Amino acid sequence: MHRDARALATTLAPMGPWQGIVAITRGGMIPAAIIARELECRLVETISVATYDEEARGEPVVLKSASAAGDGSGFLIVDDLVDRGATARLVRALLPKAHFACLYAKPAGQNVADTFVAEVAQDVWVLFPWDTAPLFVPPIGRKIA
Residues with catalytic function? 79-80, 83
Q: Omega into 89 within 30° of 0, i.e. cis?
A: no
User: Is residue 128 within 8 Å of 1, Cβ to Cβ?
Assistant: yes
User: Is residue 76 within 8 Å of 98, Cβ to Cβ?
Assistant: yes
CA distance 39 to 10: 8
